[in-house]
Amino acid sequence: MDNKNETLLEDLYNLILNPATRDWERSLLIRTKNALTDGKDFTSQIAKLEFELRPLAIRNNLTPDVTDFYLKITGEATGTQHFDIAKHTGQNLPYQERAIFAGGCFWCLVEPFEEKPGIVSVLSGYTGGKQPRPTYEQVISKATGHVEAVEVIFDTRVVKYEELVELYWQLTDPTDELGQFDDRGSNYRPVIFVKDETQRKIAQASKKRLAESKRYKKPIVTAIEPASIFWPAENFHQQFYRKNPARYKRIKRTRQQYLAFQHLRGSFRRMFSSS
């Protein structure tokens, strides 16, 4: 067996043991693993597995790690790129800080923060709940109390926390406490998680200014809560905009169109209220 096939077989074993793998996915993986163990042709068995996974892969209905495996066996290498989590979890330098923001699907929060000068790393994950090491499947079931969020490491010599909060307001709808855009449910609620009193005061002052700006007709409901353990999401979700550019652009366009209309409405409201 060549190195590529050995790697795929190891991936099969890991997915079978992965608690996030659905039972029906695991049954297909076990059947493939058993066939390969019995000496069946490797190429034909992997092709059979790809055929069985394809209908749900097309509908984006595989669990994240199985999606990564599917992209690997179909040759879509961009989907299997691994996020360097060591860069994110390494020792903090004196001039680095962390900020955590939640505002709907975390896929659409990564790119705007990553593109801002002074950003060291952006990690997608889950926070705010009680269950340790939650999986994507568990979080979207709304049973863990977690929300999808991003943790941003930034260089305070280049960018300030106040600037990140201001950017966050531009990316979310702060009047919607039941989710964001097409993402509905408590796991998508908008939250600024603060790590200390300094961040809390900055976030509260910024929220107050936003409310007083009369940009929105409805109340500003984005919560400001103490930061808790931040659990990294599966590799499939990390830097999604780079791995799945076409799908990301469709989602991004929908959010941008809604926000543009909302901001235009706010501009007209302020214009007429001051006249």
What residues does each domain of the chain span? 3-80, 85-240+245-251
CA distance 249 to 85: 24
Q: CA–CA distance from 170 to each of 8, 81, 165 (Å)?
A: 42, 29, 9
- In this prediction, residue 79 carries a pLDDT of 47
- In this prediction, residue 71 carries a pLDDT of 84
Active site annotation includes 108: no
Which among 12, 49, 99, 105 is annotated as catalytic? 105
- In this prediction, residue 21 carries a pLDDT of 87
CA distance 88 to 51: 36
C-beta of residue 210 within 8 angstroms of C-beta of residue 174:
yes
CA distance 146 to 113: 21
Q: What is the dihedral of CA 231, 232, 234, 237, to 10 degrees?
A: 120
The residue with tokens 């926000």 is: 259
The DSSP-derived string for 220-246 is: ---EEEE----EEPPGGGTTHHHHSHH
- In this prediction, residue 151 carries a pLDDT of 97
Per run of 10 residues, the mean pLDDT along the chain (length 275 residues) is 78 87 92 92 93 84 85 68 71 89 94 96 95 90 95 97 97 92 91 98 97 90 97 88 84 85 64 57
- In this prediction, residue 236 carries a pLDDT of 81
Question: 85-240+245-251 sits in which CATH class?
Answer: alpha beta
What is the DSSP pairing of strand 96-102 with strand 191-194?
antiparallel
The CA-CA-CA angle for residues 197, 118, 98, to 5°, reads 30
- In this prediction, residue 268 carries a pLDDT of 55
**Global pTM?**
0.74
CA distance 156 to 96: 6
C-beta of residue 164 within 8 angstroms of C-beta of residue 152:
yes
Kindly state the helix (H) or strand (E) to which residue 102 belongs, with its residue range.
Answer: strand 96-102
